[in-house]
C-alpha cells in the first residue's frame, strides 16, 4: 500500500502529546526554519549504564530537522519525511541531565529540504549533531 495522505494524529513517538510511551518533545519556534527544545533523558531510554541510547539520540536529531521545516503549522501542507540522516556522536549524553535540542533548515530546493540539528549541554558543548534531507510528499 502506498501512503497517499499524511495526517498528524498526535501519536508520534518523538513529539506526540497522546503517546504516553514516547519522548513527548515540546518544541518552540523562535523564527521560521528553526526549532528548539529541552529534553531530559530518562533511564528508560538508556543504552549503557547512565548513558542515553544512540537510537534515541538519532530520533531527537531527526525530529528537530522535521520540526525546523514544519514548525507550528506542521500538517499535511508542511509535511516532510526523512530521506537521509547522518549523525555524529561526539560525547556521551547522561541520563537525568537536560540537553538542548536545536534544528535549522539550511536550504529548500523543490521537494528537498536540507537541515542540521544539534544536541548540546548546558554550556553549549555539542554532544551530538546531524545533517539530513527531508522530502515533501507529492501533491495528490
Summarised one tens digit per residue, pLDDT across range 9-33 is 888 888 888 888 889 999 999 999 9
CA 110 to chain centre: 22
Q: How far apart are CA 34 and CA 111, in angstroms?
A: 18
Residue 5: what pLDDT? 65
* Low-confidence spans in the chain with pLDDT less than 50: 1, 75-77
Residue 56: what pLDDT? 97
Q: Is the CB of residue 49 less than 8 Å from the CB of residue 114?
A: no
pTM, two decimals, is: 0.91
Q: How far apart are CA 23 and CA 17, in angstroms?
A: 9
Q: 124: which residues sit within 8 A by CB, 6+ positions away?
A: none
Domain 34-135 sits in CATH at 3.10.129.10
Residue with cell 529548500: 108
Amino acid at each position: 500500500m502506498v501512503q497517499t495522505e499524511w495526517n498528524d494524529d498526535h501519536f508520534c513517538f518523538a513529539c506526540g502529546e497522546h503517546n504516553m510511551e514516547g519522548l513527548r518533545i515540546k518544541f518552540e519556534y523562535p523564527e521560521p526554519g528553526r526549532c528548539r527544545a529541552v529534553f531530559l533523558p530518562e533511564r528508560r531510554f538508556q543504552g549503557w549504564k547512565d548513558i542515553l541510547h544512540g537510537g534515541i539520540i538519532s530520533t531527537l536529531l531527526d525530529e528537530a530537522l522535521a520540526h525546523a521545516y514544519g514548525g507550528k503549522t506542521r500538517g499535511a501542507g508542511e509535511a516532510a519525511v526523512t530521506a537521509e540522516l547522518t549523525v555524529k556522536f561526539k560525547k556521551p549524553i547522561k541520563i537525568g541531565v537536560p540537553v538542548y535540542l536545536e534544528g535549522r533548515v539550511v536550504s529548500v530546493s523543490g521537494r528537498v529540504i536540507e537541515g542540521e540539528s544539534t544536541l548540546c549541554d548546558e554550556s553549549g558543548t555539542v554532544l551530538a549533531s546531524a545533517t539530513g534531507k527531508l522530502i515533501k510528499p507529492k501533491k495528490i
